[in-house]
Structure 1
Amino acid sequence: MSIQITTAARERMQNFLASQSTARAVRFGVRKTGCSGFAYTVDLTDSIAENDHVFEQDGVTVVVDAKSLPLVDGTEIDFARQGLNSMFVFHNPNVVGECGCGESFSVG
């Protein structure tokens, strides 16, 4: 089981963590939504639950809850800037379909 973060994503996460003195980690997961089924969530967290899976990479701690892990296992998290927009980008090998607007995805 793994989650990978690119250098750009790591730098962005480190900036977020530094701005919140109580934040211990980045929580990555999914929620049900949209026309395809799931959407990614990325939040700061000050707690790590017993059933969380913890991934450490280059000084950044990423936690994933047990329900989300099968849906995001193997995902690479990147951070991209496009014009005035900036966002996390997810390369998830489990995705079999995405909605037209790119906000949600489905897994096989």
Structure 2
Amino acid sequence: MLTLTPNAKEKLQGLIEKADKPLTGLRIKADMMGCAGIKYRLALVENPEDDDHIVECGDINLYVVPENAEILIGTVIDFEEKESGSGFTFANPNTAGMCACGKSFAA
């Protein structure tokens, strides 16, 4: 379903280890943002919600909001550090050519 690159795994593991409370994984939610595409919301959490889909990526658990499971299939999550900033990136094959407002679609 979802894949973490080695950079993403390393960053998440470091964040989990530095946390003030015991965390078990990363909860992922994808919000449709009109023609802008998808906004990914990430939160390190102590426990998943009851209905979350759990994806094991080595030592890291990903908790996917149920209504987002289908749109996230095949997504690769990476962590990049650049001069302009750093952060998680998402290569989602399900969004190529997609207009999230539902009014136009690529053929």
Question: Residues of 1 paired with 2:58 and 2:23: CA distance?
Answer: 17
Aligned length: 101
Q: 1:60 deviation in Å?
A: 0.6
Gaps of 5+ in 1: 99-104
Q: 1:23 to 1:37 in 2, by over 3 A?
A: same
| TM-score, structure 2 normalization | 0.81
Partner AA of 1:28 in structure 2? I
Partner of residue 62, structure 1 = 62
Q: Does 1:19 align with 2:18?
A: yes
Report the secondary structure of 1:71's partner residue.
Answer: coil
1:4 aligned partner: 3
Contact persistence 1:29–1:40 (CA under 8 A): yes
| Structure 1 or 2: more strand by fraction | 1
- Supply the distance in 1 between the matched residues of 2:73 and 2:29 (Cα, whole angstroms): 10
TM superposition shift of 1:38: 2.6
Could you say which residue in structure 2 is the equivalent of 1:44? 44
Which ranges in structure 2 are unaligned for 5 or more consecutive residues?
none
Among all aligned residue pairs of Structure 1 and Structure 2, give the percentage whose two residues are the same amino acid: 26
Task: Summarize deviations over 1:7-64 as a string: whole Å, max 9, x none.
Answer: 0000011111112223211111212436424311111111212211111112111110
Bigger Rg, structure 1 or 2: 2
- The runs of 4+ residues in structure 1 deviating greater than 6 Å are none
